[in-house]
Amino acid sequence: MLFNLEALNDCKDEIQPILRNEHWEEVGHYKDIPIDMEWSKYEMLQGLGKLRCFTIRSFENEELKETFLMGYAFFIVDRHLHYKNTIVANQDILYVRKPYRGIGKEFLKWCDEQLKAEDVVTVTHHAKPWFEYGNLFEDMGYEKAETIWSRRLK
């Protein structure tokens, strides 16, 4: 198993079908609004040095260096708007494919280590109420800091 920091262009094509299908089926809140990623904005964030694309892979063929994507997490890293001298990481996307969920905690710990090495002070995660990671995050030392509410206007 490999945990990696990858460039968006190196993982985007593999992530897209997973994101559009199994990931969205599990976490999509408004099912009638199809997922349609604004990849150009992610590319812009990467160009500004603000996007981290972490992946979990397993080798399918070590000799040919062929891998299988097991999961991914995207973080936006920047100075906080309220605390300009504090670097924060906000999780944008997190998904570990169902058969591999047992490695999620190890993957998240690794992500935290990578972010800490970049002088990130705080990491923020969000989770759908029906797909709650609270116990996992608490076990890792996270604390509940906010609740996000959503209202559909159209």
CA-CA distances (angstroms) from residue 33 to 1, 20, 30, 64? 34, 12, 6, 39
SS3 106: helix
Q: What fold does the segment set 2-139 form as a domain?
A: Aminopeptidase (3.40.630)
Instruction: Return the pLDDT at 62.
Output: 65
Is the pTM higher than 0.85? The answer reads yes
Digit-coded pLDDT (tens) for 55-99: 999 987 666 677 889 999 999 999 999 999 999 999 999 999 998
Residue 64: predicted pLDDT: 62
Rounded CA-CA distance 114/110 in Å is: 6
Q: What's the pLDDT at 52?
A: 98
Residues of the chain with pLDDT under 70: 61-64, 131-132
Q: How many CB atoms lie within 10 A of CB 89?
A: 23
